[in-house]
Amino acid sequence: MESEPSLSPTLSRSIKEELLCAVCYDPFRDAVTLRCGHNFCRECVTRCWEVQTTPTCPVCKDRVAPADLRTNHTLNNLAKCRNMEHSLREKAKAFWAMRRSYEAIAKHNQVEATWLERRIRQEFEKLREFLRGEEQAILDVMAEEARQKQHLVEEKMKQLKKDTETLAHEIERLQMEMKEDDISFLMKHKSRKRRLFCTMEPEPVQPGMLINVCKYLDSLQYRVWKKMVMSVETVPFSFDPNTAAGWLAVSEDLTSVTNHGYRVQVENPERFSSAPCLLGSRSFSHGSHAWEVDLGGLPSWRVGVVRMCLETGPEGYSHSCYQDTRSGFWYLCRTQGVEGDHCVTSDPATSPLVPSIPRRLRVELECEEGELSFYDAERQCHLYTFHARFGEVRPYFYLGGTRGNGPPEPLRICPLRITVKKELDT
């Protein structure tokens, strides 16, 4: 990393000292010169004279008259230059601080890119492993059917060969008997007829002897895809780690978050800075949306949505811990009360909710209707509904610290229940 350049003074030390007022010892403000040649701030020398019977120079004590004050334009210009230099120094410090922020972001992105590449490869390898397993399973079933059909055909061919040899033997025997005299031939006719009558006719080819091609190729990709979809857990959205405050740690799969105490994070304007909050990865402005959150036994939490027209500054989200519906926050939260914990809303006009504190919360957002409803997912009961014009919102979460010395409990986004519906393409 390059070192911050030293900003060498443009004025010598002696000249800088000459730019200081002998009364206030600060750089001149509206410098004036007395007849004796000494320089002061106009306000400083005037204040000195207010307590004197006879005005004198604060330095050499020569008697002077107020009319002797002369504006020193040269000193004023030099003082302005000095002030400009100080301002430029401060700006330079700000630029270097900003550069260090970008250097931290660049380093963070390099680490994130390496981690993301590894995670993406792992996720795709899971899919490939699933497909390889399905492919091998289907091939094994097909090979077993082919083996069974082949064995059945071979058995049929063996039987046919045996029957053919039996018929050939009967033909030879019949030919030999036909060479005998007529009396002998006729005497054996009855037994011969009985013997030839017992000879079986060849069976026709039975159905199902061919490999069932449709069983394996009919909608093969769809059937495998459907099975894969049903076996993969998915969530309606994930936690956005770029918005997570320094207290929060998001899991690698971005579906759970814990409060582990404050740790320094790379600065970015999207990040919450004043409270342990974070947002979901998706924003909603149209349609119907629902998600469930596993709260477990967390002692302090908020779950809801936040309007996305909030202004952010260089310090990130400058929201206090007490945001409510008036500032674009709609949520349910668990708080501590005199008579124990209870569940309240972000609307300061509402009373604490009567139902007990939920361990699993369901949120339903109807954008067009302007409704945000909360349900206890375990007891399947309604808790509260906000009615408002939400605009574009994102899921919002607050995760307080744990009580005692136990390990931090996570807040989790629950996986979706997936159903696949087939429709005719019209």
In a domain, 79, yes or no: no
Give pLDDT tens digits for 195-224: 666 556 777 888 888 999 999 999 999 999
If asked whether residues 169 and 51 sit together in one domain, one would say: no
If asked whether residues 317 and 374 sit together in one domain, one would say: yes
Domain tally, the chain: 3
If asked whether residues 303 and 397 sit together in one domain, one would say: yes
Q: Which residues contact 319 (CB under 8 A, 6 or more apart)?
A: 272, 274, 275, 277, 310, 327
Euclidean distance between CA atoms 244 and 264, whole angstroms: 11
**β-bridge partners, 219:** none
If asked whether residues 202 and 138 sit together in one domain, one would say: yes
In a domain, 355, yes or no: yes
Q: What DSSP character marks residue 4?
A: P
If asked whether residues 22 and 153 sit together in one domain, one would say: no
CATH number of the domain residue 36 falls in = 3.30.40.10
Give pLDDT tens digits for 259-299: 988 888 888 888 898 889 999 999 999 999 999 999 988 98
Q: Tell me how far apart the terminal alpha carbons of the chain are, to the nearest angstrom.
A: 63
In a domain, 5, yes or no: no
Half-sphere exposure (CA, 13 Å, Cβ side) for 253? 12
Identify whether the C-beta of residue 31 lies closer than 8 Å to the C-beta of residue 72.
yes
Q: What is the DSSP string of 6-66?
A: P---SS-HHHHHHTB-TTT-SB-SSEEE-TTS-EEEHHHHHHHHHT-SS-B-TTT--B--G
If asked whether residues 266 and 308 sit together in one domain, one would say: yes
Q: Mean pLDDT over residues 328-345, rounded? A: 84
In a domain, 423, yes or no: no
366 backbone dihedrals φ, ψ, rounded to 5° = -110, 100
Q: Mean pLDDT over residues 46-65, rounded? A: 86
If asked whether residues 155 and 61 sit together in one domain, one would say: no
If asked whether residues 161 and 222 sit together in one domain, one would say: yes
In a domain, 81, yes or no: no
Report which of residues 413 and 8 the model is more confident about.
Answer: 413
If asked whether residues 200 and 247 sit together in one domain, one would say: no
**The tokens 């429709």 sit on which residue?**
423
Euclidean distance between CA atoms 266 and 186, whole angstroms: 112
In a domain, 298, yes or no: yes
If asked whether residues 142 and 184 sit together in one domain, one would say: yes
In a domain, 392, yes or no: yes
**7-11, 45-49, 380-384, 398-402: which range is least confident on average?**
7-11
If asked whether residues 374 and 257 sit together in one domain, one would say: yes
pLDDT at 196: 63
pLDDT at 229: 84
CATH number of the domain residue 322 falls in = 2.60.120.920
Q: What DSSP character marks residue 272?
A: B
**206-210, 302-306, 309-313: which range is least confident on average?**
309-313
If asked whether residues 306 and 226 sit together in one domain, one would say: no
Residue 324 CB: number of other CB atoms within 10 A?
A: 14
Q: Which residues contact 105 (CB under 8 A, 6 or more apart)?
A: 266, 267, 268
Q: Mean pLDDT over residues 128-132, rounded? A: 95
Range of the domain at 31: 13-71
Q: What is the DSSP string of 52-119?
A: -SS-B-TTT--B--GGG-EE-HHHHHHHHHHHHHHHHHHHHHHHHHHHHHHHHHHHHHHHHHHHHHHH
